[in-house]
Chain A
């Protein structure tokens, strides 16, 4: 059980919640994630990256986008409500060290999980460049937080409504070609963005870490649903990751695997929307 201490809506479909989770707050390191379940009986378990933690308060922060049934239900919960199940921190922490110049690329909701990593890289003494991408200005999140830690912040939107009208790979390429190329790139966002970030940096041989968010059930290595091909080897995102060498990840296979249940999920969401018009099924307590 985890009480919701604070809830804010960052954009139309993006929410931030601070949850009471003292043990997780104490143990977690940048790059780790949690799994939560909103409906005790028939709910599904979904992984979400820990965006921040406060040991003193005993809280963690999650940021999520309302996309599927569970995230819709989660968004319905209010402050002081309790999330029935929360487990973590899971996965291996990011390897943080002083490398020189580090570029963190966050795309869409991926900005949230990239924040603690950017923060830790900065704290380790690196020069920090942050590239943030979103479809439009309403979907840009955490700009203030990022600008407070980044030595350089580049905002890109697909339509140019905020920052540069560009994909994140454009400024990334420019950085790689500049006199001060990054010593490491960390890219977190939609799979397709991570794939192209890795492709962009590859010719320049800039080490590029990506953080994968695959389908998962238990999150402790037991089911293998999260497996990915990394450099020809099978790896489990939950225990070997979530971060991997972006130049080694088979993104196409990973993206196919993410679509494993697409038909079922679509059918469920349609049904939910139909039912939702008359009664609120999304929140079981109403």
Chain B
């Protein structure tokens, strides 16, 4: 059920007034406050535009949500946060109307709160262990830490209160950072703060990495990413776009000839996986990376203005059940598809996508086909996708990951008419750096091997984010970046 932002704000106002009459809030009072719903664009309307879906809590809602936190002593949320933000601290500040204080508290530990408040899987991190949720045996009743983080970050930006972090005097040391996604941005800021010169090398024409090419505008407005990058520039970080390390210049040349004292590799997981089924090269089959990059980075959704085309689809199937699959499905809808299906081998409860994203997708009319997987894609006489052959599955015994293994049901073949198939089953590691850097140790999947201090097999070369972890999340990449930066600062001192 969708409620208008005005209505949500109004009811928060009345509840706040009611609580204001009390001298001191008891735990019971706090428990009595309903979790504040995130105001969102109308589901039908938003399917036609690219604007952000979640609109952000109003100040009243934020204060009320902050009052739900009981400030428990053991602070499980802090341990649940990959970068260890003082969560009860900033929530208390919001409750006390000190929004500036709240954002300052967050920024001590996280560099990208406006981004993380939007895209972190909080329900698996800080909110999963929240005492308020535990008391009510429902993670959906935990304090909405992510929404409060976003509120504080948005408040800062919208009130022109963005501050440029202080930079120590120049040390004369030079650091190269390869890639400009979440891990790299974190490393750049942490190292620059210590007074080292930092240069970011980005292969694309705009910096931001996956925040830019991967996550759609309707989930993370690009203006926010640009501002974060701008902050780095103001700190004195140099950003070289259109520069592919490994091709334009080899990693070791940066160290041996260009005088870089240390290098961080944060190139991400950039090699799309395909299903390896017949018909996967037909016209109309795309990797989610390609589809999303066309729409996000190249702005193909602005059909009138953008030179980069995007496929005209009527009926689309997305293969996969993660956040990228949700992003691709919802993008296809906005590009103009009449019917969008998410095709997933297991059931809804095994889907790796965030619940919030799944619900948003459902509200917008995305159709979910569970327990099925394609075996073949058929094309017409022009080599364009016309249908998909699928098999039905049932859940069997749990596998190593603890999820039930899907088992194909023999003889359950059926066909589904589609004109577009988007494959969103993950990424392997991009081989460019390892192919052009002798002595860089990688594992059997091609991910760079690092020790507990993010050090690779080459002295002075560090790595982090998805190129080490395999495909993971923004905040985990940032956590990795933080660890690498600390080790690099140590190495340079």
Which residues of A are interface residues toward B (Cβ below 8 A)?
Answer: 23-24, 27, 37, 39-45, 69-70, 84-90, 217-218, 220-225, 227-229, 234, 239, 250, 252-253, 256-257, 259-261, 263-265, 268
Contact = CB atoms under 8 A, between A and B. Distances in A.
A244 to B, nearest CB: 14
28 contacts: A42-B305, A44-B307, A45-B205, A45-B308, A69-B307, A84-B205, A85-B241, A85-B242, A87-B203, A87-B244, A89-B248, A221-B432, A222-B270, A223-B272, A223-B289, A228-B281, A234-B276, A234-B280, A250-B281, A253-B282, A256-B282, A257-B283, A259-B382, A261-B309, A261-B311, A263-B312, A264-B309, A264-B312
B383 interface: yes
> Chain B interface residue count: which class?
35 or more
B294 interface: yes
A268 B290 CA distance: 21
A86 B243 CA distance: 9
Interface in B470-484: none
Given A87-B205, A87-B243, A259-B283, A224 B249 contact: no
Interface string B366-390: 0000000000000000111000000
Contacts of A250: 281
A261 B289 CA distance: 17
Contacts of B454: none
Interface string B221-262: 000000000000000000001111001110000000000000
A256 B272 contact: no
Contact of A223 (B241, B249, B280, B287): B287
B430 interface: yes
Contact of B283 (A224, A260, A268): A260
B293 interface: yes
A89 B308 contact: no
A74 to B, nearest CB: 12
Contacts of A23: 243, 248-249
B205 A85 contact: yes
Contacts of A222: 270-272, 289, 293, 430
Contacts of A27: 247-249
Given A221-B270, A222-B293, A260-B311, A234 B430 contact: no
Contacts of B287: 223-225
A262 B376 CA distance: 25
A220 B309 contact: no
Given A44-B298, A256-B383, A88 B247 contact: yes
Nearest to B305: A42
Interface string B272-286: 101010001111101
Contacts of B384: 256
B271 A221 contact: yes
Interface in B310-340: 310-312
A221 B431 CA distance: 8
Given A45-B298, A220-B270, A70 B307 contact: yes
Name which of A24, A87, A224, A257 has the most chain B CB atoms within 10 A of its CB: A224
B306 interface: yes
